[in-house]
Amino acid sequence: MLLPRILAPVRAAAKSPLIPSSRVLDVIRHANGSAAHAPSPTLSFVRHATHQAQGRANGAKDGPGKRLGAKKAGGEYVIPGNIIFRQRGTAWFPGENCKFGRDHCIFATESGYVRYYKDPSLHPKRQYIGVALEKTDKLPYPQNAARRRRLGFVAVQNEPQPKKIEGQAVVADLQVGDAPGSETSIRATVRDSQTLTIGKGYAYRAANWDIGRVAERANVQVKQFVPGDRWAAWQKSQARKKRNEEAKKLRNAGKKSAKPKARKRRGP
């Protein structure tokens, strides 16, 4: 930065007793030289530093990459929360079953397959990223087409329920009745053991009731537990302890116990 210092010569001239003139212009001329050689006042400037001389403050700023770009390709399967595209700005916009993040990233809100497409009905030039619920679906969906329900609901055909025997009550998907061996017992319930359900880890597994009956279907024999008489067992243990104590006393009766030696007092 250049700063003019006009008043510095004035202060210097005012302190000098050799200048008789009281006019400011004459004082400035006298401070800068004779009037003949300097008909007009001159300005003195000072150059200050505008850039740090040393240190890392002004070094090259080459930070790490931000890993922008596509994270999922077209047709790839995603689940809710998966980031599909990272960007700065809005080069791509969220379409079907997608949303914006706070840093303009696009993530999926439903499970499905990634689609990159354009939708002239919404905007003539914008590019959209969406998630198709089925692998054969194409985006954008027709405007008046029926939308599939979210939360993984799929329209299925109702199947006929298993026949109910008299005296058999139905609670949820279990049939509760008489004791095992009768026609109305739980074991007599008709079930489809081939049904698999999707779990929290997006993996298909059999139901718990089906897993619990694997040993029964494999004819695995388990030794039956026979509970005994706990009162009789306690009496036997107490009698055994009493006999052991008496036998120990008899063994120690013939032995002479050594008498402890008397301590001698130390005289003064």
Among 27-36, 69-78, 221-230, which range has the highest average pLDDT?
A: 69-78
Q: Are 73 and 119 within one domain? A: yes
Q: What is the pLDDT of residue 55?
A: 62
**Residue 225 pLDDT level (bands cut at 50, 70, 90):** confident
Establish if 260 belongs to a structural domain.
no
User: Which of residues 235 and 6 earns the better pLDDT score?
Assistant: 235
Choose the weakest-confidence range: 42-56, 78-92, 118-132, 211-225: 42-56
Q: Are 123 and 83 within one domain? A: yes
Q: 127-132 and 93-94 as β-strands: parallel, antiparallel, unpaired?
A: parallel
Mean pLDDT of 164-190: 55
User: Which of residues 256 and 40 earns the better pLDDT score?
Assistant: 256
Q: How far apart are CA 81 and CA 83, in angstroms?
A: 6
Compute CA distances 118 → 74, 104, 123, 139, whole Å. 13, 18, 8, 8
Q: Are 73 and 125 within one domain? A: yes
Q: Are 76 and 128 within one domain? A: yes
Establish if 207 belongs to a structural domain.
no
Establish if 73 belongs to a structural domain.
yes
Q: What is the mean pLDDT of the chain?
A: 77
Establish if 95 belongs to a structural domain.
yes
Q: What is the pLDDT of residue 1?
A: 45
Establish if 122 belongs to a structural domain.
yes
Establish if 113 belongs to a structural domain.
yes
Q: Are 32 and 80 within one domain? A: no
Choose the weakest-confidence range: 70-74, 109-113, 173-177, 223-227: 173-177
Establish if 268 belongs to a structural domain.
no
Query: Residue 104: is its pLDDT beyond 90?
Result: yes
Mean pLDDT of 221-247: 90
Boundary-marking domain end, from 116, 132, 148: 132
**Residue 252 pLDDT level (bands cut at 50, 70, 90):** confident
Q: Are 78 and 128 within one domain? A: yes
Looking at the structure of the chain, the number of domains it has is: 2
Q: What is the pLDDT of residue 106?
A: 98
Percent of the chain residues past pLDDT 70, beyond the cut: 62
If one counts every other C-beta atom within 10 angstroms of the C-beta of residue 132, the result is 21
Q: What is the pLDDT of residue 62?
A: 80
Q: What is the pLDDT of residue 24?
A: 64
Q: Are 79 and 25 within one domain? A: no
Q: Are 73 and 121 within one domain? A: yes
- Determine the structural domain holding residue 13 and report its residue range: 2-47
DSSP-derived secondary structure for the chain: -EEE-SHHHHHHHHH-TT-----HHHHHHHHHS-TTT-SS----EEEPP-S--SSSTTS---PPP---EESS-TT-EE-TT-EEEE-SSSSSEE-TTEEE-TTS-EEESSSEEEEEEE-TTT-SS-EEEEEESSTT--SSPPTTSPPPPSTT----PPPPPPPPPTT-EEETTEEE-SSTTSTTSGGG----TT-EEE-TTS-EEE-HHHHHTHHHHTT---PPP----HHHHHHHHHHHHHHHHHHHHHHHHSSPPPPPPPPPPPP-
Q: What is the CA radius of gyration of the chain?
A: 49
24-32 vs 7-15: helix crossing angle, rounded to 10: 90
Tell me the pTM: 0.39
Q: Are 122 and 75 within one domain? A: yes
CA 143 to chain CA centroid, nearest Å: 36
Q: How far apart are CA 20 and CA 26, in angstroms?
A: 10
- The CATH number of the domain holding residue 113 is 2.40.50.100
Q: What is the pLDDT of residue 203?
A: 77
pLDDT in tens, 41-90: 566 678 877 766 666 666 677 889 999 999 999 999 999 999 999 999 99
Nearest to 139 by CA among 90, 84, 71: 84
Establish if 37 belongs to a structural domain.
yes
**Residue 143 pLDDT level (bands cut at 50, 70, 90):** confident
Q: Are 80 and 124 within one domain? A: yes
Query: Residue 266: is its pLDDT beyond 70?
Result: yes
